[in-house]
């Protein structure tokens, strides 16, 4: 674990983000990069309230992952919860720090509003093209994209040691035998996305999942702090970051 300027570096913490974030010093992080629970995956309240393993895993899929909390809130609860962690992340971010958040099409409009309500400057939306399409349906547009809402705390400095990033990132969804979280993102995608962060910066991921963003940060020469509420995913990410074979779980057996 690296420690600079009195802060914590290269560390994964287990617990509720809303309880841990207030313990961090203000203006600590150079960027916020995260993939929070969407509380989506359905058109009705009853559909959205289903467990993540039901909403995000296809019926013929044999690989299983641990469930995770935070996926059964209604729209009002999700909005209040999201506003709270966005507000706290703004406090701990440095002036000019970028924020990058994954979201799906259902929650995209609300997230862009909440980002601004929390005091961030909304700067745009990038696209993760998951070609080939996931769950193709006849007579409908293919659901092959997720979205990346991004902004900054205050004005994003024009002179940064960062190049121009694409607006569309094309990476296939990792197969079940490779990814370690049911909504996990490809490591290569996260490594390219983290080019938004200035070299040697420190990122915060308050919803670390299986640790992909943290591992990508390490590979990119960045420092990181992650928070994960699920004990199962915290253990998976810990093993992964330590270089050990990651623990694999089965929802049916609970192991």
CATH number at residue 128: 3.40.50.150
Nearest to 69 by CA among 101, 40, 37: 37
Count other Cβ atoms within 10 Å, centred on residue 48.
21
In degrees rounded to 5, what are phi and psi of residue 105? -65, -30
Domain for residue 152, yes or no? yes
251 inside domain: no
Termini Cα distance of the chain = 29
Q: Which two tokens stand for residue 136?
A: 């193709």
Q: Band the pLDDT of 64: cuts 50, 70, 90.
A: low
Residue 249 included in any domain: no
Tell me whether residue 213 is in a domain: yes
Distant-in-sequence contacts of 95-98, Cβ < 8 A, 24+ apart: 95/27, 95/153, 95/154, 96/152, 96/153, 96/154, 96/155, 96/156, 96/157, 97/29, 97/30, 97/31, 97/32, 97/152, 97/153, 98/31, 98/32, 98/123, 98/150, 98/151, 98/152, 98/156, 98/196, 98/197
Residue 33 in domain: yes
Q: What is the pLDDT of residues 121-154, one digit of tens each?
A: 999 999 999 987 666 678 888 888 999 999 999 9
User: How many other β-carbons are positioned within 10 Å of the β-carbon of residue 113?
Assistant: 13
State how far the Cα of 21 lies from the Cα of 5, in Å rounded to an integer: 18
For residue 224, being part of any structural domain is answered with: yes
DSSP code of residue 175: P
Tell me if 38 sits within 8 A of 234, measured CB to CB: no
- List, for residues 86-127, the tens digit of each pLDDT value: 999 999 999 999 999 999 999 999 999 999 999 999 999 999
Q: How many domains does the chain have?
A: 1
Determine the average pLDDT of the residues in 44-62: 51
Inside any domain, residue 248 = no
Asked whether residue 4 is assigned to any structural domain, the reply reads no
User: What is the domain range of residue 19?
Assistant: 11-242
The pTM score is 0.82
CA–CA separation, 168 and 250 (whole Å): 34
Closest C-alpha among 175, 182, 185, 203 to residue 71: 182
154 CB neighbour count, 10 Å cutoff = 14
């Amino acid at each position: 674990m690296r420690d600079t300027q009195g802060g914590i570096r290269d560390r994964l913490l287990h617990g509720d983000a809303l309880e841990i974030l207030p313990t961090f010093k203000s203006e600590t992080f150079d960027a916020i990069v995260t993939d929070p629970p969407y509380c989506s995956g359905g058109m009705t309240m009853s559909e959205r309230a289903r467990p993540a393993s039901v909403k995000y895993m296809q019926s013929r899929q044999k690989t299983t992952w641990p469930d995770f909390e935070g996926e059964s809130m209604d729209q009002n609860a999700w909005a209040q919860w999201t506003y709270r962690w966005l507000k706290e992340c703004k406090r701990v971010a440095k002036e000019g720090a970028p924020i990058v958040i994954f979201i799906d099409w259902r929650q995209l409009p609300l997230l862009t509003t909440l980002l601004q309500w929390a005091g961030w400057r909304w700067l745009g939306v990038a696209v993760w093209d998951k070609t080939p399409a996931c769950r193709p349906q006849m007579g409908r547009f293919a659901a092959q994209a997720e979205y990346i809402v991004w902004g900054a705390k205050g004005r994003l400095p024009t002179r940064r040691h960062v190049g121009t990033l694409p607006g569309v990132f094309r990476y296939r969804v990792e197969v079940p035998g490779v990814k370690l979280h049911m909504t996990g993102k490809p490591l290569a995608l996260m490594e390219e996305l983290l080019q938004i962060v200035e070299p040697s910066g420190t990122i915060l991921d308050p919803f670390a999942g299986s640790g992909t963003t943290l591992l990508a940060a390490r590979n990119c020469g960045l420092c990181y702090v992650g928070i994960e509420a699920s004990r199962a995913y915290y253990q998976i990410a810990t093993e992964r970051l330590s270089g050990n074979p990651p623990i694999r779980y089965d929802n049916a057996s609970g192991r």
